[in-house]
């Protein structure tokens, strides 16, 4: 990730307009900012959220609240709790998320 051309700034995430994205079950609410080619999001998954697709996008993801279940297409599964993160490159390992209890995530991609 090349982070150039981004002046110092602060973000009040509560003032960023949310967008809703339905999953196979539940809803993901994104608050998104773009800094040059970098997308930064604060994402809330509702309890019972299940992604409706396999994702091939690279991310650095930090779990802030709740718990996140991540399944890789090869069958491996991972559980993130607050303070845990994962990182994956673009087109490296397709993954999808779910959460029985809901989750709040900070994501860079």
Q: State the pTM of this model.
A: 0.92
User: What does CATH list as the number for 20-108?
Assistant: 2.60.120.10
Q: What are phi and psi of 37, to 5 degrees?
A: -90, 5
CA atoms within a 13 Å half-sphere pointing along the CA-CB vector of 64: 10
Contacts by residues 79-86 (CB-CB < 8 Å, ≥ 24 positions apart): 85/60, 85/61, 86/59, 86/60, 86/61
Model confidence pLDDT, tens digit, residues 70-88? 999 999 999 999 999 999 9
Model confidence pLDDT, tens digit, residues 35-72? 988 999 999 999 999 999 999 999 999 999 999 999 99
Give dist(CA 58, CA 53) in Å, integer: 15
Q: Which of 92, 27, 40, 100 is nearest to 68 (CA)?
A: 100
């Amino acid at each position: 990730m090349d982070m150039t051309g981004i002046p110092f700034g602060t973000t009040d995430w509560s003032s960023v307009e949310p967008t809703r994205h339905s999953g196979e079950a539940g809803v993901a609410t994104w608050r998104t900012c773009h800094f040059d080619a970098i997308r930064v999001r604060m994402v809330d998954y509702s309890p019972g959220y299940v992604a409706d697709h396999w994702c091939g996008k690279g991310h650095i993801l930090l779990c802030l609240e709740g718990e996140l279940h991540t399944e890789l297409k090869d069958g491996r599964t991972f559980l993130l709790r607050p303070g845990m993160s994962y990182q994956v490159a673009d087109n490296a390992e397709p993954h999808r998320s779910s959460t029985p209890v809901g989750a709040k995530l900070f994501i860079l991609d």
